[in-house]
Amino acid sequence: MTQAKSAVVVGAQWGDEGKGKIVDVLSERFSVVARYAGGHNAGHTVIIDGQKFILQIIPCGVLRPGCRGVIGNGVVVDPMAFLKETGRLRDLGIDVDSRLFVSNRAHVILPYHRMIELAAESAPGRQKIGTTSRGIGPAYEDKMARNGLRIVDLLNPALLKTHIENACREKNAIAHALFGTEPLDPSQMYDEYAQAAEKIRPFVTDTALLLNQALHEGHSVMFEGAQGTMLDIDHGTYPFVTSSSASAGGASTGTGIGPNRIGTVIGVTKAYITRVGEGPFPTEIHDSFADALRARGQEYGAVTGRPRRCGWLDLPLLRYSNQINGTEWLVVTKLDVLDELEDIPVCTGYEVDGQRCETIPADIRGIESIRPQYTKLKGWKSSTEGTRSFDELPKAAKEYLRFMERESGAKIGIVSTGPDRDQTVELPEFHQAMRQIAGK
């Protein structure tokens, strides 16, 4: 059977692994890039010739001339954020109007979703998850409760008006009773979103049909994940997770492509590990090394600006991630951030309640009880920034990468040695595999 001409790019950790750059680098070979989960809480930063592009909901593929971008049905769309982002890209000379498509089945984020999330996250006595308070979680809640508004409904003025009136009646009452929140005006909301709907209308189509036709016609498709595997609603560190399927399986349900149409899975991992927001983090560093990594790696959220928590590479977590995703290839980013270290601790196993544990416990208590078991690897104490060839990397850096490869069970295909799209090492075996999948 011929290998499907598609690939999923997924975060292997807690997000912020540098997927934006990698999708941008690979999109040169693909005809379509489709985003399949999350909302405008997932910032992807791409640097091209020193110019920074921060994308929140729009797939990175639009930065490549001739590449189409698709926002799939698994994404939740804030119309105002979408229009703001497309306007910003137009101002930068990016053609979004003829190359960007939004699923008619994607669900819509409305102001009452933000109101509910912000009030709930700030309420006394509530467990704080560390959300961005942009309404993503409550929009997915309405979707699963079969009470959401889809893009196709947004384009129907009569249906939109009725939905907003009914939803505001319910959400205003709930928010006031639980949190003392002031009510939203449904008439003003309808006027604003009816106008926004007409600006969005030209982008809307049946994207499942578009993607399946593209594959049928021999075009190559890349599926772009948001957040990371450990934030997946089913497989992550619940409840400190996102509200969607951030792992590779979400590419199928979030776009309408059958699982047998996915050719390979590419997991993106940092050479160390970070996490934003609340939740367990077994290998988190609490001393000056964390500050040093944060400074060298510019570890601040692309969307929120929040400082990221930093830790040493967690190989049991990476093995778990590769298992969940069926990862074939690994992309290692920010190798250059480790350039100055004499020795580099790497977590190679866990101890929980005095017992050796080879995988991540399902419950939060178990994860919080983990005592990481470290192996120290020799640092290379020389610059890798901007290196373009694997052979040119310092010997100790190559040994670090090969150790990651052996211990994680996936092959390293790309090493990122800096933020710019050209600061990338691509290994020959991966290059050949991409030629077979994408034809380029």
DSSP track, 22-76 = HHHHHHTT-SEEEE-SB-TT--EEEEETTEEEEESSS-GGGGSTT-EEEE-TTBE
Q: What is the mean pLDDT of residues 373-401?
A: 95
What single-letter DSSP state applies at residue 269? E
Identify the band that residue 438 occupies on the pLDDT scale cut at 50, 70 and 90: confident
Q: Is 163 a catalytic residue?
A: no
Q: Which residues pair with 274 in a beta bridge?
A: 310
Question: What does the pLDDT read at residue 132?
Answer: 65
> Which helix (DSSP H) or strand (DSSP E) does residue 319 occupy?
helix 315-325
Question: What does the pLDDT read at residue 130?
Answer: 54
Contact 424, 414 (CB under 8 A): yes
Residues 62-72 pLDDT 10s: 888 889 999 99
Residues 312-359 pLDDT 10s: 999 999 999 999 999 999 999 999 999 999 999 999 999 998 889 888
196 burial type by CB count under 10 A (0-12 exposed, 13-18 middle, 19+ buried): middle
Helix (H, G, I), strand (E, B) or coil at 98: coil
Residue with tokens 């208590």: 365
Q: What is the mean pLDDT of residues 20-34?
A: 91
Encoded amino acid at 74, one letter? G
Tokens describing residue 206? 């049946």
Question: What does the pLDDT read at residue 306?
Answer: 79
**Greater pLDDT, 426 or 422:** 426
Q: What is the mean pLDDT of residues 419-433?
A: 91
Q: What is the mean pLDDT of residues 195-209?
A: 98
Question: What does the pLDDT read at residue 62?
Answer: 87
Residues 94-133 pLDDT 10s: 899 999 999 999 999 999 998 888 777 665 555 555 566 7
Encoded amino acid at 101, one letter? F
Percent of the chain with pLDDT over 90: 69
Identify the band that residue 252 occupies on the pLDDT scale cut at 50, 70 and 90: very high
Identify the band that residue 264 occupies on the pLDDT scale cut at 50, 70 and 90: very high
Residues 40-60 pLDDT 10s: 876 667 777 777 777 889 998
Provide the 10 A C-beta neighbour count for residue 335.
23
Tokens describing residue 264? 């390979």
**Greater pLDDT, 292 or 262:** 262
Q: What is the mean pLDDT of residues 249-262?
A: 96
Residue 222 predicted with pLDDT over 90: yes
Average pLDDT of the chain to the nearest whole number: 91
The lowest-confidence range among 159-163, 365-369, 377-381 is: 365-369
Angstrom distance (rounded) from CA 52 to CA 410: 31
Identify the band that residue 277 occupies on the pLDDT scale cut at 50, 70 and 90: confident
Contact 336, 383 (CB under 8 A): yes
64 burial type by CB count under 10 A (0-12 exposed, 13-18 middle, 19+ buried): buried
Length of the chain: 440
Q: What is the mean pLDDT of residues 157-169?
A: 95
Helix axes 79-91 and 186-200, enclosed angle (nearest 10)? 40
**Rg (the chain; Cα; Å):** 22
Question: What does the pLDDT read at residue 401?
Answer: 97
Q: Is 16 a catalytic residue?
A: yes
Per the residue annotation, which of 16, 142, 232, 314 is the catalytic one? 16
Tokens describing residue 172? 């205003």
Residue 201 predicted with pLDDT over 90: yes
How far apart, in Å, are the Cα atoms of 64 and each of 37, 59, 60, 268? 21, 11, 8, 20
Residue 24 predicted with pLDDT over 80: yes
Question: What does the pLDDT read at residue 129?
Answer: 54
Per the residue annotation, which of 24, 40, 44, 113 is the catalytic one? 44
Q: What is the mean pLDDT of residues 404-418?
A: 95
